[in-house]
Amino acid sequence: MEQRTEFQTQTEAEAIYQLESAIGCPHCSTMLETVHVVRLLRTRVNFTSSLPRRGYVCACPECRKVIPAVVG
């Protein structure tokens, strides 16, 4: 199911994840209870590349900077 809908704004998160306990953002020091997850869509790649088709980044909802988190 491939849907090619454009995001309303560039900063809109695809998903919001709740943290089990609050953590401090490493960038803006806000105590976070949720993180935003934004999908990476591959738009150009070498034919021989073994990189995955898509990935995710987690971002602080306050400052929008990437924070280290893994969505598995």
Site residues, Zn ion (CB under 5 A):
25, 27-28, 60, 62-63
Complex with Zn ion: residue 25 or 58, whichever CB lies closer: 25
- Give the nearest distance from C-beta 32 to Zn ion in angstroms: 7
Question: By the 8 A CB rule, do 10 and 28 touch?
Answer: no
Task: From 27, 31, 36, select the one nearest 63 (Cα to Cα).
Answer: 27
The Cβ of residue 35 has, within 10 Å, a number of other Cβ atoms equal to: 22
Complex with Zn ion: residue 3 or 17, whichever CB lies closer: 17
- Give the nearest distance from C-beta 31 to Zn ion in angstroms: 10
